[in-house]
């Protein structure tokens, strides 16, 4: 028995026949000390609702509740996990809502009250897509105040990468423009069941109330996608699609058109987005 009165996760998995499915990105964390460590990194949960994607058998869910989350709203696609999650909801009356569905399709907003923290051991196959959605909402600030997310270490390194490094790219710029992302610790493969091939890392994103530099959000996304879509080319060539004045706009933003995307700091991309947006016809 654990200190929340629920059985150990290995028993839960055996009882409900939760053999891990690779197609659902299932690598479970069964060590409740580790899941509590992750929950604590998310900050003070007492006055917060927590959105968790992919609770699985509920190791992280249980930690979020024991660490004092006001409420946890968890979205899980695998119906086999629902009975195990229902047991947790019974142990924490009124504090856990489970939504069965695909996190890319369901909108949990109606179940959440601000402030909201997002905490998840994300399924690898939808993790990046969800992150990009959370980082690029129609308006800022977004519905969440922080994200505490587990990724493959290689993805975590792309998120925090600096200009000039191989890992620097679209994800670094989207994350660093409006949040302060940090790798807070790594988790070795053996901590998961089954063990994945690669090391994982927990990334903590604190949202900035104002973007780090002024920019036009939609144009910044487009410019960065074009620049890194052909990351080996000089910008004068990768950004040709911006139109006949492309090179003049690059220069006006203080960028050398012979540079490659990975040499350009965030601030310069932001300046370029404003120039491109103000030159748009109409
Ligand atoms: N949170 C659990 C833990 O830490 O042990 C499980 C994490 S496991 C890496 C990912 C979980 O996400 C699985 O339970 C899987 O069924 C679920 N999942 C996969 N794709 C999903 C999707 N599109 N929407 C919601 N949940 C999904």
**pLDDT recorded at residue 77:** 97
Give the strand pairing for 146-152 and 200-207.
antiparallel
Q: Compute the mean pLDDT over every residue in the chain, rounded to the nearest whole number.
A: 95
pLDDT digit string, tens, across residues 162-173 = 999 999 999 999
**pLDDT recorded at residue 184:** 97
**pLDDT recorded at residue 281:** 62
**Confidence category of residue 73, pLDDT binned at 50, 70, 90:** very high
**pLDDT recorded at residue 76:** 98
pLDDT digit string, tens, across residues 30-55 = 999 999 999 999 999 999 999 999 99
Kindly give the number of the ligand 1 atom that is closest to the alpha carbon of 125.
20
Kindly give the number of the ligand 1 atom that is closest to the alpha carbon of 35.
4
**pLDDT recorded at residue 37:** 97
Own/partner pairs, 241-249, CB within 8 angstroms, 24+ separation = 242/276, 243/279, 245/279, 249/275, 249/276, 249/279
**pLDDT recorded at residue 31:** 93
Residue 234 scores a pLDDT above 90? yes
Ligand 1 touching residue 56 (CB < 6 A): yes
Q: Whose CA is nearest to atom 8 of ligand 1?
A: 26
Residues composing the chain: 282
Ligand 1 touching residue 29 (CB < 6 A): yes
Kindly give the number of the ligand 1 atom that is closest to the alpha carbon of 102.
24
**pLDDT recorded at residue 282:** 52
Residue 280 scores a pLDDT above 90? no
The mean pLDDT value for 149-177 works out to 97
Interval between CA 122 and ligand 1 midpoint (Å) = 6
Q: Whose CA is nearest to atom 23 of ligand 1?
A: 102
**pLDDT recorded at residue 41:** 96
**pLDDT recorded at residue 3:** 78
Ligand 1 touching residue 54 (CB < 6 A): yes
**Confidence category of residue 80, pLDDT binned at 50, 70, 90:** very high
**Confidence category of residue 2, pLDDT binned at 50, 70, 90:** confident
Residue 231 and residue 260 in contact, taking contact as beta carbons nearer than 8 Å: yes
Ligand 1 touching residue 62 (CB < 6 A): no
Q: What is d(CA 160, CA 145) in angstroms, rounded to the nearest whole number? A: 18
Ligand 1 touching residue 76 (CB < 6 A): yes
pLDDT digit string, tens, across residues 251-263 = 999 999 999 999 9
**pLDDT recorded at residue 218:** 93
Ligand 1 touching residue 126 (CB < 6 A): yes
165's CB contacts (< 8 A; 6+ apart) are: 262
Ligand 1 touching residue 12 (CB < 6 A): no
Residue 116 scores a pLDDT above 80? yes
The mean pLDDT value for 198-214 works out to 97
Interval between CA 103 and ligand 1 midpoint (Å) = 9
Question: Percentage of the chain with pLDDT > 90?
Answer: 94
Question: Percentage of the chain with pLDDT > 70?
Answer: 99
Residue 245 and residue 253 in contact, taking contact as beta carbons nearer than 8 Å: no
Q: Measured between alpha carbons, how far is residue 110 from residues 88, 184, 260 in Å? A: 22, 30, 43
Ligand 1 touching residue 60 (CB < 6 A): yes
Q: Whose CA is nearest to atom 11 of ligand 1?
A: 54
The mean pLDDT value for 191-209 works out to 96
**pLDDT recorded at residue 149:** 98
Exposure b/e, 169-190, CB count within 10 A at least 16 = b: bbbbbbbbbbbebeeeeebeee
Q: Measured between alpha carbons, how far is residue 34 from residues 164, 171, 219 in Å? A: 34, 27, 41
Ligand 1 touching residue 28 (CB < 6 A): yes
Interval between CA 26 and ligand 1 midpoint (Å) = 6
Ligand 1 touching residue 88 (CB < 6 A): no
């Amino acid at each position: 028995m654990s200190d929340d009165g629920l059985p150990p996760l290995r028993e839960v998995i055996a009882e409900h026949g939760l053999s891990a499915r690779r197609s659902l990105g299932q690598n479970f964390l069964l060590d409740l000390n580790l899941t509590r460590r992750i929950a604590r990194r998310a900050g003070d949960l007492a006055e917060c609702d927590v959105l968790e994607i992919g609770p699985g058998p509920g190791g992280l869910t249980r930690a979020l509740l024991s660490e004092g989350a006001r409420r946890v709203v968890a979205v899980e696609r695998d119906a086999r996990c629902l009975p195990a999650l229902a047991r947790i909801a019974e142990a924490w009356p009124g504090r856990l809502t489970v939504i069965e569905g695909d996190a890319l399709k369901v909108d949990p907003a109606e179940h959440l009250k601000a402030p909201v923290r997002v905490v998840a051991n994300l399924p690898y196959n939808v993790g990046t897509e969800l992150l990009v959605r959370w980082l690029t909402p129609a308006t800022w600030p977004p519905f969440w105040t922080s994200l505490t997310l587990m990724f493959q270490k290689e993805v975590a390194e792309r998120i925090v990468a600096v200009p000039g490094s191989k890992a620097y790219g679209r994800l670094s710029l989207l994350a660093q423009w409006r949040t302060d992302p940090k790798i807070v610790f790594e988790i070795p493969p053996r901590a998961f069941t089954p063990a994945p091939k690669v090391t994982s890392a927990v990334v903590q994103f604190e949202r900035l109330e104002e973007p780090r530099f002024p920019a036009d959000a939609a144009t910044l996304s487009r410019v960065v996608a074009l620049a890194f879509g052909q990351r080996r080319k000089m910008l004068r060539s990768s950004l040709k699609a911006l139109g006949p004045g492309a090179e003049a706009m690059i220069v006006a933003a203080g960028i050398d058109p012979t540079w490659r995307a990975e040499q350009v700091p965030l601030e310069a991309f932001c300046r370029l987005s404003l120039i491109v947006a103000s030159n748009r016809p109409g």
